[in-house]
Amino acid sequence: MINLKQKKANFVPLTPVSFLRRSAIAFPRKLAVKDDSVSLTYSELYERCLRLSSALSQVGIGNGDTVAALMPNTHQMLEAHNGIPMCGAVLNALNIRLEVSSIAYILDHSRAKLLIADAQFMSIAEEAISLANYDVRLLVTPSDSSADHSQLSYEAFLASGYPDPTAPKIENEMSPISLGYTSGTTGRPKGVLCHHRGAYLNTLGNVVAANLNQHSRYLWTLPMFHCNGWSHTWGVSAVGGTHYCLPRIDPERIMETIVKEGITHMCAAPVVMNMLLEWTEGKDFHLPSPVRILTGGSAPPTKVILAMEELGFEVIQIFGQTETTGPSLIREWPEDWGTLEPEYRAKMKTRQGFQLITMDEAIVGKPETGEEVVRNGKEIGELMFRGNTVMIGYLNNQEETDKAMLNGWFHSGDLAVRHPDGSIELKDRAKDIIISGGENISCIEIEEVLYSHPLVRNVAVVARADEKWGEHPCAFIEISRNAGKINEKDLIEYCRQHLAGFKIPKSFIFGDLPMTETGKIQKFQLRERLQQENNFGDLEKEI
Amino acid sequence: MINLKQKKANFVPLTPVSFLRRSAIAFPRKLAVKDDSVSLTYSELYERCLRLSSALSQVGIGNGDTVAALMPNTHQMLEAHNGIPMCGAVLNALNIRLEVSSIAYILDHSRAKLLIADAQFMSIAEEAISLANYDVRLLVTPSDSSADHSQLSYEAFLASGYPDPTAPKIENEMSPISLGYTSGTTGRPKGVLCHHRGAYLNTLGNVVAANLNQHSRYLWTLPMFHCNGWSHTWGVSAVGGTHYCLPRIDPERIMETIVKEGITHMCAAPVVMNMLLEWTEGKDFHLPSPVRILTGGSAPPTKVILAMEELGFEVIQIFGQTETTGPSLIREWPEDWGTLEPEYRAKMKTRQGFQLITMDEAIVGKPETGEEVVRNGKEIGELMFRGNTVMIGYLNNQEETDKAMLNGWFHSGDLAVRHPDGSIELKDRAKDIIISGGENISCIEIEEVLYSHPLVRNVAVVARADEKWGEHPCAFIEISRNAGKINEKDLIEYCRQHLAGFKIPKSFIFGDLPMTETGKIQKFQLRERLQQENNFGDLEKEI
């Protein structure tokens, strides 16, 4: 009897680009973004995005077309996050550290029609385009080092558009908004397609998780190309906060900007927190007002959390994947964290927690049946998600999509336990678990212990082939700068105080660890090293 | 090429009842609600809602069936907001001040299958049911004054259900979640049907607008039956905050609870703020910590805002209607309100502002064409909305639905202007504007002036027939308790200092003003009085 049909007045496809329009209405003259080159109000930022959208439409780019972006954290990168989806196109934000061949592969795989590149990456962009099998138009955004590339000028392109008030032109909220290529494995990257509906909801979920509001001053150290900056590219704009962009990770500039601009929020991988801590060493530094720092990418070690909190940061762990449109777990705590003993608080914060309010379900269970593990903090299962912020699928890869979305769940590929309080704790990537003498050993547990050693700066534990046990834990150790001598014997002794015997690494390798630019230790490289070298004698020497 | 079909892993119908489940996972042992009878944790509240949902299913109540609720602010009313929609049924929250005949009319019109009533309303409920043309089952929730009504026992009904983990059972997010009957006009009330998608989004929009988080302690003075408590029935649960319920408006208890429980947020109509201010008269009262108070229902007078802020409240104006699933405008300000001159700040706060981030568009324009007015703070148009939080329509009233949703806009029936900064300011209900000598006169503008007079407690200005001018403004005045004498001449003199001559009321009537229980002055009653009395001499005497 009741007509449930969507009407023009009561149904508008959800899209996170709607948030910028709203802030241009509510906060037209408020500072939206400040980077090394300009400051823009919400009115100005919105107009530039409308121009970008219209200019794209004029050259025939629209629904479902891919536009790639190769840029650090700049206002142009924020514009790409809004202007490209406004015309129906799909934003493919490229990791700026990728080698030319990978960029060329992605341009081909995504059939990108246009690449917007920062001038500092112009030669890489040109080379990648020349390697690609399809025509890709190049636009270059100015940077200090750039000459005038009038033919390729992003600014001239924007000027060719006009502020089209009918944008965004989204008809189906399940249509793609972004395409992100996953890295970290040795195979070819997969293109993760996320939809407007999921990006809209994940943005709101992260606004609530980060507790952003119009007074928020958000510092961009996390690359925007990383899961659309964990949705804060849209979220900070949604609440009318201000984006402060830093083009690279520089601890001194980060700390200076925090103090000078009154930063309230930022996101950073644990490795960035490490860099901030090292910078403060020997300095009498304390934040003038608290900064909420959301961390993820890998579990933050207890001692890093403690040290950050001493500086005045409030550390909150989140967890997500490109496939879940960014952060989808958050470490909630029922009361004020401040009432807890610091050590206990930091320990509790190393868990990944609970689904964001916009992710319907997160469970740890058997991937075949969805049957959940016992909530005892011990039984290991796969972390699985169901909800509106799960991706559309992998571009042109039905097989992997079907595998990832089997039985109505998104399979994260991460192994986890569930504690009696319901919180989820990641143990490892499925393939990172070590099976030694039939016992499952979590690399993260061992890493956590080694991280707590005062002289250890970074650590990665991986499985190493073992004639007797099948596998054993092998620890790669990077010692703190200016730290004293330390050797295998010391570390074994230290582990013995905190770990069951079968979990103690049987080999230690000292040296710098290979990192992604977002601070993830590239364990696959360490595994490759172990496989490639028959004689490990050289590796195991102390540095 | 890309399969955009919704999958089980990446599409879940949006519904605000999902928020409670999530808080039961993330905050199981946290205090969810405290009222005069019990305190419940999130785990307990969730279980009771699941039981209610299951018990309803067991008696054959499900998709699209109406369940009515006649309750003050209690934990059972919160349960009704979750348990009823969980089984697919539609919550019809009744205004507890309605007369029996209106309740009977609504029960009939909505074809309610069940009525859940607080014991204090048992006889009213029974009488209304006896007047209704269809069978309505009655359940009674215990209250202090109640005997044991075992046959009608809500608790026994709950016990007959079980915590069904498969709830909610929502298949279409556009399906109805709530039915609210609009009051305030003389005609039969209309049944406003709102949908799950809109309620979910409006909840998130209001969480952001109120800046709620898990540390929020929300005081229920606003009736939950009023637009589902402006969505905070779901919103406070979404963030894992705590609901503190007061069954009636009692300034002393409100102030005591704020101090004792460390309340952070509440909602209240301007008249409630007036009551709080009167209670503090002669007392040396100041809040120990700031409380954010969201106000709406009518525009708060400047002097009320100023006085509330002096007590330590942060006043934020919102505006909404049952048809927009509750609040849909919020008075945003680009900077910190605290940096403004108090008088100017309060004046700015009397505007209704901008659409919430979850309402796509709010415009002021010509109802026929949607053409917007000039943003000069003068040109008057109709406030219109478009977005996902607009209702499904009026139940069994296609004609009024079509009229309200004409040309792709929801027509609010409110007249407004738009200021140069883009903010919307309501001038009046369409029929409340006074046209005197061809000039449009806003009742609100005159009321604002009269409210600023120190001896005026409440004021309502309506149109009065005038042989010469067509209409003229007539002011109904309620003077402050214990205030000195005041007469028409004083008020005309006062108006002359602040208003153009043609706007000064030509008649003044002193006495108590008729109010709804939510503090809206019932102007239609005042208009009726003017129509009914040919000789107004009696009315115009001073009290």
CA distance A23 to chain B (A): 8
Q: What is the H or E stretch that residue A270 is in? A: helix A270-280
CA distance B37 to chain A (A): 23
What's the mean pLDDT in A291-311? 89
**Paired strand residues for B33:** B40, B243
Q: pLDDT tens-digit profile of B24-79?
A: 999 999 999 999 999 999 999 999 999 999 999 999 999 999 999 999 999 999 99
The pLDDT confidence band at residue B495, using thresholds 50, 70 and 90, is very high
Mean pLDDT of chain A: 90
Q: Nearest-CA neighbor of A10 among B398, B323, B387, B385?
A: B387
pLDDT of residue B538: 43
Cβ distance B86 to B168 under 8 Å?
A: yes
Residues of B in contact with A12 (CB under 8 A): 360, 386-388
Q: What percent of chain B has pLDDT over 90?
A: 66
Cβ-nearest to A422 among B28, B240, B391: B28
Q: pLDDT tens-digit profile of A42-93?
A: 999 999 999 999 999 999 999 999 999 999 999 999 999 999 999 999 999 9
Least CA distance to B11: which residue of chain A? A388
- The answer on pLDDT for A119 being more than 50 is yes
The pLDDT confidence band at residue A6, using thresholds 50, 70 and 90, is very high
Cβ distance B333 to B177 under 8 Å?
A: no
Q: What is the H or E stretch that residue B540 is in? A: helix B537-540
The pLDDT confidence band at residue B517, using thresholds 50, 70 and 90, is low
Residues A364 and A353: their CA atoms lie apart, in Å, by 12
pLDDT of residue A61: 97
CA distance A402 to chain B (A): 11
Q: Which residues in chain A (481-510) have CB-CB distances under 8 A to chain B? A: none
Least CA distance to A354: which residue of chain B? B26
Concatenate the DSSP letters of all residues of B185-236 into one string. SSSPPPEEEEEHHHHHHHHHHHHHHHT--TT-EEEE-S-TTTHHHHTHHHHH
Concatenate the DSSP letters of all residues of B64-90 into one string. T-EEEEE--SSHHHHHHHHHHHHTT-E
pLDDT of residue B533: 61
- The answer on pLDDT for B481 being more than 90 is no
* Lowest-confidence segment of A256-260, A350-354, A506-510, B530-534 by average pLDDT: B530-534
pLDDT of residue A533: 61
CA distance B151 to chain A (A): 33
- Cβ pair A10:B215 closer than 8 A: no
The pLDDT confidence band at residue B434, using thresholds 50, 70 and 90, is confident
Cβ-nearest to A4 among B6, B214, B392: B392
Q: Nearest-CA neighbor of A349 among A304, A383, A380?
A: A304
pLDDT of residue A53: 97
How many interchain CB pairs under 8 A, A with B?
Answer: 165
* Lowest-confidence segment of A58-62, A92-96, B186-190, B519-523 by average pLDDT: B186-190
Q: How far is CA A331 from CA A281, A400, B26, B56, in A?
A: 28, 29, 9, 35
pLDDT of residue B112: 98
- Which has the higher per-residue pLDDT, B237 or A274? B237
Helix axes A75-86, A42-58, angle to 10 degrees: 50
- Which has the higher per-residue pLDDT, A456 or A185? A456
- Which has the higher per-residue pLDDT, B519 or B542? B519
Q: List the structure tokens of B89.
A: 């049924």
pLDDT of residue A150: 72
Cβ-nearest to B26 among A10, A30, A332: A332
Q: Nearest-CA neighbor of A319 among A227, A199, A439?
A: A227
Cβ distance A96 to A70 under 8 Å?
A: yes
Least CA distance to B324: which residue of chain A? A10
Strands B39-41, B31-34: parallel, antiparallel or unpaired by DSSP? Answer: antiparallel
Q: Which residues in chain B (183-222) have CB-CB distances under 8 A to chain A? A: 193, 195, 198, 204, 207-208, 211, 213-215
- The answer on pLDDT for B131 being more than 60 is yes
- Cβ pair A28:B396 closer than 8 A: no
Q: Which residues in chain B (389-448) have CB-CB distances under 8 A to chain A? A: 390-393, 395-396, 405, 408-410, 421-422
Residues of B in contact with A332 (CB under 8 A): 26-27, 214, 240
ipTM of the complex: 0.87
Q: Which residues in chain A (30-49) have CB-CB distances under 8 A to chain B? A: 30
Strands B361-365, B381-386: parallel, antiparallel or unpaired by DSSP? Answer: antiparallel
Q: pLDDT tens-digit profile of B268-310?
A: 988 889 899 999 999 999 999 999 999 987 778 888 999 999 9
Best to test chain B binding among A1, A3, A6, A10 (most B CBs inside 10 Å): A10
What's the mean pLDDT in A19-36? 96
Helix locations, A90-180, DSSP H: 100-110, 122-131, 154-160
Residues of A in contact with B46 (CB under 8 A): none
pLDDT of residue A72: 95
Burial of B369 (0-12, 13-18, 19+ CB in 10 A): exposed
B28 has a chain A CB within 8 A of its CB: yes
Cβ distance B25 to A355 under 8 Å?
A: yes
What's the mean pLDDT in B219-246? 96
pLDDT of residue B184: 44
pLDDT of residue B425: 93
Cβ-nearest to B10 among A176, A335, A392: A392
The pLDDT confidence band at residue B168, using thresholds 50, 70 and 90, is confident
B274 has a chain A CB within 8 A of its CB: no
- The answer on pLDDT for B144 being more than 50 is yes
Q: What is the H or E stretch that residue A228 is in? A: helix A227-230
Q: Which residues in chain B (94-113) have CB-CB distances under 8 A to chain A? A: none
Q: What is the phi-psi region of residue A529: left when phi exceeds 0, alpha when psi lies from -120 to 50, beta otherwise?
A: alpha
Least CA distance to B401: which residue of chain A? A3
Cβ-nearest to B9 among A208, A335, A408: A408
- The answer on pLDDT for B353 being more than 90 is yes
pLDDT of residue B4: 84
Mean pLDDT of chain B: 90
B360 has a chain A CB within 8 A of its CB: yes
Q: Nearest-CA neighbor of A238 among A81, A10, A391?
A: A81
CA distance A353 to chain B (A): 8
Best to test chain A binding among B6, B10, B397 (most A CBs inside 10 Å): B10
What's the mean pLDDT in A401-408? 93
Q: What is the H or E stretch that residue A412 is in? A: strand A410-418
Residues B273 and B289: their CA atoms lie apart, in Å, by 17
- The answer on pLDDT for B255 being more than 70 is yes
Residues B38 and B48: their CA atoms lie apart, in Å, by 13
For chain B, list the domains and their CATH numbers. 17-195 (3.40.50.980), 249-430 (3.40.50.12780), 436-540 (3.30.300.30)
Q: How far is CA B294 from CA A342, B158, B319, in A?
A: 36, 34, 10
- Cβ pair A29:B334 closer than 8 A: yes
Q: What is the H or E stretch that residue A306 is in? A: helix A302-311
- Cβ pair B9:A213 closer than 8 A: no
Q: Nearest-CA neighbor of B86 among B53, B61, B63, B109?
A: B53
Residues B177 and A532: their CA atoms lie apart, in Å, by 61
Helix axes A18-26, A42-58, angle to 10 degrees: 140
Q: Which residues in chain A (235-264) have CB-CB distances under 8 A to chain B? A: 238-240
What's the mean pLDDT in B167-186? 83
The pLDDT confidence band at residue B484, using thresholds 50, 70 and 90, is confident
Radius of gyration of chain B (CA): 24
Cβ-nearest to B393 among A3, A172, A353: A3
Cβ-nearest to A214 among B10, B214, B332: B332
Contacts of B153 (CB under 8 A, 6+ apart): B139, B140, B142
- Cβ pair A215:B353 closer than 8 A: no
Q: What share of chain A is helix, strand, coil (3-state, %, to 5)?
A: 35, 25, 40
Cβ distance B3 to B11 under 8 Å?
A: no
Cβ distance B193 to B391 under 8 Å?
A: yes
The pLDDT confidence band at residue B221, using thresholds 50, 70 and 90, is very high
- Which has the higher per-residue pLDDT, B149 or A350? A350
- The answer on pLDDT for B149 being more than 80 is no
Asked if residue A16 has a cis previous peptide bond (ω within 30° of 0), the answer is no
- Cβ pair A26:B353 closer than 8 A: yes
Residues B438 and A513: their CA atoms lie apart, in Å, by 80
